[in-house]
């Protein structure tokens, strides 16, 4: 009987999944560019490269930047779908470039900056309005009660808000929202998701403060339930469901 293989050995022996084991494919990247030092208007550039079909789109962008046009500008950090830095509009839909495989967009892909936020350069937008909304909902545990031990929470209490702990603040949900595109005062789905995470935390003591903030005209009732946010979330958070739960909490004055 053959010895069992480790996961790494199985991955390295896979003809289909191993990077470099498949023939390179031709990929044309059509990228919306903007540089205020060059032009007041955006323009489109196209770059054609040879790339592994199982490589991630962010690596295709690296190849363009490192070998064809060093002025191409975009955010990225961990490249593993955790930091949320590289949210972009990819073929008309919000996504993280590090979670899109080349084979799923070849032979041609269109890439634009996320919508609803001012473009600073190329694929980089001004995230401050997004984070203003996030900060406004008190996105941290509020509890000044003295305790000599950890604040105990039952598994079912933790499960109540488990889904909304997954947010990585990539802004994919907020910038997919048509209300946010047209109303910069709207607090946005991501802020509501992060408010939900603490409103329903049994250890927190400020749910009514957050509900008061979200009951204002710029808050949760600006949502029109289009589900764009849920579709856009790279972490699979049920964003629209969380928003509806916060609406009910506002209406009935209780989490």
**CA of residue 179 relative to chain centroid, distance:** 17
Q: For residue 77, give both structure tokens.
A: 């950090």
Examine the pLDDT at 8 and tell me if it is beyond 80. Answer: no
- Mean pLDDT, rounded, for 206-213: 96
Measured CA to CA, the distance from residue 31 to residue 113 in angstroms comes to 9
Q: How confident is the model at residue 17 (pLDDT cuts 50, 70, 90)?
A: low
pLDDT of 1: 44
For the chain, the average pLDDT equals 93
Q: Residue range 40-58: average pLDDT?
A: 97
Q: Name the one residue in this structure whose structure tokens are 């204002």.
A: 216
Size of the chain, expressed as the number of residues it contains = 255
Q: Which domains does the chain have, with CATH numbers?
A: 18-125 (3.10.20.30), 128-142+153-252 (1.10.1060.10)
> In the prediction, which pLDDT does 151 show?
92
Average pLDDT, stretch 207-233? 96
Q: Give the pLDDT score at 16.
A: 55
Q: What is the mean pLDDT of residues 167-192?
A: 96
Measure CA of the first residue to CA of the last residue in the chain; give whole Å: 58
**In sequence order, what are the residues at sequence separation of 6 or more whose Cβ sits closer than 8 angstroms to the Cβ of residue 59?**
51, 79
**Residue-level pLDDT at 253:** 74
Residue of higher predicted confidence among 227 and 16 = 227
Q: Is pLDDT of 10 > 80? A: no
Question: What pLDDT, on the 0 to 100 scale, is given for residue 43?
Answer: 98
Residues 195, 56 contacting (CB under 8 angstroms): no
What pLDDT score does 184 carry? 85
Prediction pTM value: 0.89
Mean pLDDT in residue range 175-202? 96
78: pLDDT strictly greater than 70? yes
Give me the pLDDT at residue 32, please. 98
Whether residue 13 is predicted with pLDDT greater than 70 in this model: the reply is no
Q: Which of 8-17, 21-30, 99-108 has the lowest mean pLDDT?
A: 8-17
């Amino acid at each position: 009987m053959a010895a069992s293989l480790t996961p790494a050995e199985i991955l390295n022996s896979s003809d289909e999944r191993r990077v470099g084991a498949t023939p390179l494919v031709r990929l044309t990247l059509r990228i919306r560019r903007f540089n205020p030092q060059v032009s007041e208007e955006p323009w489109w550039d196209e770059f054609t490269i040879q790339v592994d079909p199982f490589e991630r789109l962010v690596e295709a962008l690296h190849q363009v930047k490192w070998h064809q046009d060093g002025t191409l500008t975009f955010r990225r950090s961990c490249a593993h779908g955790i930091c949320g830095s590289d949210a972009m509009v990819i073929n008309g839909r919000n996504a993280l470039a590090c979670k899109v495989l080349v084979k799923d967009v070849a032979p041609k892909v269109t890439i634009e900056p996320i919508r609803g936020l001012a473009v600073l350069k190329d694929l980089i937008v001004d995230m401050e309005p997004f984070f203003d909304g996030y900060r406004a909902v008190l996105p941290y545990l509020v509890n000044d009660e003295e305790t000599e031990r950890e604040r105990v929470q039952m598994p079912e209490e933790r499960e109540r808000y488990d889904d909304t702990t997954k947010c990585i603040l990539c802004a994919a949900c907020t910038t997919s929202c048509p209300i946010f595109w047209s109303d910069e005062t709207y607090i946005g789905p991501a802020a509501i998701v992060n408010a939900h995470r603490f409103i329903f935390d049994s250890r927190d003591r400020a749910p009514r403060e957050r509900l008061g903030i979200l009951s204002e005209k710029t808050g949760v009732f600006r949502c029109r339930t289009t589900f764009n946010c849920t579709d856009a979330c790279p972490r699979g958070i049920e964003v629209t469901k969380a928003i509806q739960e916060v609406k009910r909490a506002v209406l009935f004055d209780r989490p």
